[in-house]
Amino acid sequence: MKEIERIKEAYAKRNQLARQNWYEPLNPVVYLTQQEKERKLIQLLKWAKLEPLADKKVLEIGCGSGGNLLHLIRLGFKPENLVANELLEERAFHARRTLPVVTKVMIGDASTLDMSDHSFDIVLQSTVFTSILDEEFQQKLAANIWRLVKPGGGILWYDFVYNNPNNPDVKGIPLRRIKELFPEGQIKSWRVTLAPPISRQVVKIHPALYHLFNSIPLLRTHRLCWISKQK
């Protein structure tokens, strides 16, 4: 499929051009962004009444190296109830080395995952849909992951809203488009994450400025959503 090949090429190019210090965990931009995201995630889990977490089954599509699932384990999800899916083999192998042995790691296109309907309480996607430029492929992927969600469960969505003028390989997903992708879902949305170009500049002055600038909603570039499926 052309879109799959384009995505693979885009990530290969991104890996070659990546500035490693932008993703270094000790970089204030990285840990402040992650800490904010984690606080909002905890609020979401409580708001959606998903406790107890230990019995919830979760699939993450586009899991990367597995960092999101490791955080879910720290929050109380059981590793044996988690499934990681990743399109890119190199990233999937990294996830396999990172995640507990009892966590299943699947390599391949999430739009064609052959799993039973209503298999998961939560399907997690983090900055996957913005990497897909083909709207028909977006719709195909959305339909398949929606099929996998149990009634009473939902999709945990984290993705950015705006186009990136410096990266033509991604496309922002506004709330209107999320509603088009999941017309049967009930969506609760939060705006999060200070725009990275701004955060990189202000933390050079002082890390505390991240919170000050992030208090302005218009400067937040991402959307955290709970897209629930009716019972």
Q: What is the pLDDT along the chain (231 residues), one digit of tens a residue?
A: 688 888 888 887 666 545 556 678 889 999 999 999 999 999 999 999 999 999 999 999 999 999 999 999 999 999 999 999 999 999 999 999 999 999 999 999 999 999 999 999 999 999 999 999 999 999 999 999 999 999 999 999 999 999 988 888 899 999 999 999 999 999 999 999 999 999 999 999 999 999 999 999 999 999 999 999 998
pLDDT of residue 3: 86
Q: How far apart are CA 29 and CA 176, in angstroms?
A: 29
Give the DSSP per-residue string, 35-60: HHHHHHHHHHHHHTT---GGG--EEE
Q: Which of 200, 178, 180 is nearest to 189 (CA)?
A: 178
- Map residue 183 onto helix, strand or coil: coil
pLDDT of residue 55: 97
pLDDT of residue 168: 86
Structure tokens at 35: 């800490």
User: Residue 225 in contact with residue 178, Cβ under 8 Å?
Assistant: yes
Instruction: Phi first, then psi: give them for residue 32, nearest 5 degrees.
Output: -70, -40
Q: How far apart are CA 151 and CA 122, in angstroms?
A: 10
Count Cβ atoms within 10 A of the Cβ of residue 172 and give its class: 0-12 exposed, 13-18 middle, 19 or more buried.
middle
Give, as one character, the DSSP assignment of residue 210.
H
Domains of the chain: 1-229 (3.40.50.150)
Q: How far apart are CA 135 and CA 130, in angstroms?
A: 10
Contacts of 187 (CB under 8 A, 6+ apart): 175, 178, 179, 225, 226, 227, 228
pLDDT of residue 16: 54
pLDDT of residue 18: 54
Structure tokens at 10: 């885009």
Structure tokens at 226: 């709970």
228: amino acid identity, one letter: S
